[in-house]
């Protein structure tokens, strides 16, 4: 048999999916290079957090924590507002540092989200029984973090506004983190730890975010339904037991929250009795259809799909035919779509009484299920790479295309962050000037202070909505320890 030239052999191996040491070494750099871009986005966004200043609900939280501490914050949430005790603790954790807590919340929560998703992605990769290049798990985590936080239609409320982040951005990440122990459990002690962790996390989520709790319950229920086909027989019983523990924890937390005086007061003031009325259900369906269309056509989410394509190409370094079975892949894709549809609609239904048609514009409410959407897009991108390879096409082409789209999305997100950074800086300077003036006037004995509205990214400010909302003005007055504030239209 005629001996082929070395270059021809290497080319033939590439077409057959059998990679040489040089290709393996070259592939190791792909996740590192792409990861740098998404991590740079996170670093830039964290640096811009120095411009964050109080707004919206924070006007009310800050004086409560200042005057009464943790006890007053828990009392406010459990007995008056909504019953979310864990939410109260997290708000106290940053509000006790006043404005500095607002500024440090974004960087701290961003790093926490990245670390938790890194642990989740690393554990998920072990399920594939493949050894992708080093840095692949971090690449996945940074991709999901960047798209989830900065691909939002309102990045300020998703990442920079602590009150919204605590209620809608962090909870789904905590839910993902609770999956890590079950994926890592290989011993009896590890399985016991996984059961205890998910039960405790479920109870905490029930007292933190009703929407994330609903998403988690739907996802857990779907896992039980499909477990007979996608989970190996030797682990199936434990996974179902884990799902039972998760359900018990989530329901326990929800029960404590639902029976709290704060939740009862919220249901009475927000007319929650209309939740299951036919008109409410129909308008919630229309609202969710609008939300789904907005998300499906939002260009930043292409970054998650492109990242998934690169991930699939990295996994194809190993024997590609055994990466995933076609039947399981179709079942998992269908299950993800079902969970997203049911959970997203359910979240819209339970928030409709409080927000009415505002559910279509209050983008922070979408985050409870958008993290699942981003993870789904990554998985779908990986499956697209597998399908491309099975048709005998070059993996290098798919990888280059995915990397190019990924880079363009990162550049687009960087441009959006730059615009937001400029807006935040302008507001921060005006806010600081006004804050200095109001504090000096209050110290001089003034009981009524003029306040000029400083809105940003559709945040609630005093005297907004035609003056219908009076609570922000009352909270601002309490923050400056005065009797009242008036609407100032001139320069501060």
Tens digit of pLDDT per residue, the chain (492 long)? 334 443 443 444 444 444 434 444 455 677 788 899 999 999 999 999 999 999 989 999 999 999 999 999 999 999 999 999 999 999 999 999 999 999 999 999 999 999 999 999 999 998 877 778 888 999 999 999 999 999 999 999 999 999 999 999 999 999 999 999 999 998 999 999 999 999 999 999 999 999 999 999 999 999 999 999 989 899 999 999 999 999 999 999 999 999 999 999 988 888 777 888 999 999 999 999 999 999 999 999 999 999 999 999 888 764 444 444 556 888 999 999 999 999 999 999 999 998 988 899 999 999 999 999 999 999 999 999 988 888 877 888 899 999 999 999 999 999 999 999 999 999 999 999 999 999 999 999 999 999 999 999 999 888 876 666 678 899 999 999 999 999 987 544
Alpha helices in 16-166 (DSSP H): 21-27, 29-48, 58-76, 85-95, 98-127, 136-150, 155, 162-164
Listed residue (464, 443, 442, 444) closest to 453, CA to CA: 464
260 phi and psi, to 5 degrees? Answer: -75, 150
The span from the CA of 194 to the CA of 457, in Å, is 40
Contact at 8 Å (CB) between 50 and 80?
Answer: no
For the chain, the maximum distance between any two Cα atoms, rounded to a whole number of angstroms, is 99
- Model pLDDT for residues 222-265, shown as the tens digit of each residue: 999 999 998 989 999 999 999 999 999 999 999 999 999 999 99
pTM: 0.92
Alpha helices in 178-315 (DSSP H): 180-184, 188-206, 210-230, 233-258, 261-269, 278-296, 302-315
Kindly give, in sequence order, each residue whose CB lies less than 8 Å from that of residue 489, ignoring residues fewer than 6 positions away: 452
């Amino acid at each position: 048999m005629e001996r082929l030239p070395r270059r021809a052999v290497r080319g033939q191996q590439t077409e057959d999916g059998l990679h040489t040491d040089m290709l393996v070494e070259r592939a190791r750099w792909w996740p590192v290079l792409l990861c740098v871009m998404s991590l740079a986005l996170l670093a830039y966004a964290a640096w811009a957090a120095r411009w964050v200043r109080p707004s919206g609900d924070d006007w009310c939280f800050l004086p409560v924590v200042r005057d009464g501490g943790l006890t007053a914050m828990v009392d406010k949430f459990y007995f008056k507002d909504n019953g979310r005790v864990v939410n109260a603790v997290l708000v106290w954790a940053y509000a006790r540092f006043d404005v500095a807590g607002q500024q440090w919340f974004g960087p701290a929560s961003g790093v926490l989200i990245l670390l938790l998703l890194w642990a989740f992605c690393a554990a998920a990769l072990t399920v594939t029984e493949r050894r992708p290049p080093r840095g692949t798990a971090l690449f996945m985590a940074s991709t999901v973090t960047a798209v989830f936080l900065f691909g939002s239609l309102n990045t300020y409320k998703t990442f920079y506004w602590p009150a919204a982040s605590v209620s809608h951005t962090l909870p789904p990440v905590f839910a993902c983190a609770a999956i890590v122990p079950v994926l890592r459990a290989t011993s009896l002690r590890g399985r016991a730890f996984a059961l205890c962790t998910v039960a405790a996390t479920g109870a905490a989520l029930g007292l933190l975010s009703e929407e994330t709790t609903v998403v988690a319950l739907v996802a857990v229920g779907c896992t039980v339904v499909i477990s007979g086909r996608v989970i190996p027989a030797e682990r199936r019983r434990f996974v179902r037991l884990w799902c039972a523990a998760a359900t018990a924890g989530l329901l326990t937390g929800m029960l404590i929250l639902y029976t709290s005086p704060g939740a009862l007061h919220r249901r009475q003031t927000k007319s929650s009795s209309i939740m299951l009325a036919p008109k409410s259900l129909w308008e919630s369906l229309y609202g969710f259809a609008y939300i789904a269309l907005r998300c499906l056509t939002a260009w930043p989410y292409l970054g998650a799909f492109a990242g998934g394509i690169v991930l699939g190409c990295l996994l194809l370094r190993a024997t590609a035919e055994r990466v995933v079975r076609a039947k399981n892949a179709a079942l998992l894709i269908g299950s993800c779509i079902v969970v997203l549809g049911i959970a997203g609609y359910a979240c819209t239904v339970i928030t409709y009484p409080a927000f009415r048609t505002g559910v279509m514009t209050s983008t922070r409410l979408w985050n409870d299920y958008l993290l699942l959407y981003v993870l789904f897009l990554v998985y779908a991108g990986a499956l697209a790479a597998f399908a491309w390879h099975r048709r005998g096409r070059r993996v290098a082409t798919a990888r280059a295309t995915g990397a190019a789209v990924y880079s363009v999305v990162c550049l687009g997100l960087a441009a959006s962050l730059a615009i937001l950074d400029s807006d935040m800086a302008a507001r921060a300077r005006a806010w600081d000037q006004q804050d200095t003036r109001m504090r000096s006037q209050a110290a001089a004995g003034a009981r009524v202070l003029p306040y000029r509205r400083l809105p940003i990214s559709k945040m609630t400010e005093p005297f907004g909505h035609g003056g219908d909302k009076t609570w922000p003005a009352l909270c601002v007055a309490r923050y400056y320890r005065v009797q009242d504030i008036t609407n100032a239209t001139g320069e501060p």
